[in-house]
Structure 1
């Protein structure tokens, strides 16, 4: 029996390893591996697979969000450029309208000034004609008056000069 025990233990001098114990431990290890595979490995792998799918989905969603954000930024930049161009066009149109309105105002002011000038000249001409007519009427009445005075009396040169001076004084006082 001793040989059987010797066979079953290897290296007894060092502490000894028994083959039977090793076989039993190997069987228990294999049973443990089978149980771990059935009860722990499957759920752990399922959880890891779910986590992997979740991370992949999050990466895809983040990539889509980034692409949408880039597209939105590009659209916003395009809209900003369009708004700037429209604003510039509105400013230029306003400047053009302002220049046109300024020219219209200047032109109408010139026309009004010309009209006022012509009206003033016409008024001056009318006043001149009225003054001439009034003067002619006075001269005519003076002539009649002088003629009637001359007819009333015959006068010498000195009386005539005196008569003319008096008459000029009368006319000056009437004005």
Structure 2
């Protein structure tokens, strides 16, 4: 708008005004400056702006790739985390199964040990009973032998004569047998 009014003023004005304005503004310098500025802009666009925009596009593409890579890594991390959680859950279940199995085996072994111990105690008790009975029989036999020999000695002194040992023994054993039946 300012330029339009300036052009209109310049057309209506007299030639001395234009000369006066040219001296004050130095129109030649302005034209040269505008020309150089235009050339500079064309050169900048060709040599600086193009490569700069290429670098900016490359940078934007690199950032987009990194964002995509980060998103992919985040997704993979989520999957790995989920897999780790599943593996941990599975490991816990396995550990519980192992503990439960060990507990069951322990109970089974305890029952086996108790039954083995009871069987061993029963066997030892039976052996002891048999041994006691055997020892009792041995003791009874020893007492009988002692009783027989004492009886023979006593009988021979009482009778004053000696009878044969075989007759004496038969007589004493018969007496002992009769005494045993009376019990």
Q: Same fold (TM over 0.5)?
A: yes
The unaligned stretches of length 5 or more in structure 1 are 154-175
- What is the TM-score normalised by the length of structure 2? 0.67
Once the two structures are TM-superposed, the CA of residue 29 in structure 1 deviates from its matched residue by: 3.7
> Of 14, 26, 34, which aligns to 1:3?
14
Provide closer, same or farther for how the CA distance between residues 86 and 5 of structure 1 changes in structure 2, counting only shifts above 3 A: farther
> Of 156, 164, 183, which aligns to 1:148?
156
Counterpart residue number, 2:176:
none
Counterpart residue number, 2:127:
119
Aligned ranges 1:127-138 → 2 under 5 Å: 127-138=135-146
Higher relative contact order (CA 8 A, sep 6+): 2
SS of the equivalent of 2:14 reads: helix
Partners of 2:50 and 2:148 lie apart in 1 by: 143
Measured on the aligned residues, the alpha-carbon RMSD in Å equals: 2.7
Post-superposition CA distance 1:130-156 (Å, at most 9, x none):
122222233333333333222218xxx
Post-superposition CA distance 1:29-65 (Å, at most 9, x none):
4333322221221111111111111111111121122
- What is the TM-score normalised by the length of structure 1? 0.69
Task: Tell which deviates more after alignment, 118-127 or 104-113.
Answer: 104-113
Counterpart residue number, 1:48:
56
Partners of 2:69 and 2:144 lie apart in 1 by: 109
Partners of 1:35 and 1:106 lie apart in 2 by: 103
The unaligned stretches of length 5 or more in structure 2 are 1-12, 162-183
Post-superposition CA distance 1:83-133 (Å, at most 9, x none):
222222222222222222222222111111111111111011111111222
> Of 77, 81, 92, which aligns to 1:84?
92
Partners of 2:17 and 2:29 lie apart in 1 by: 14
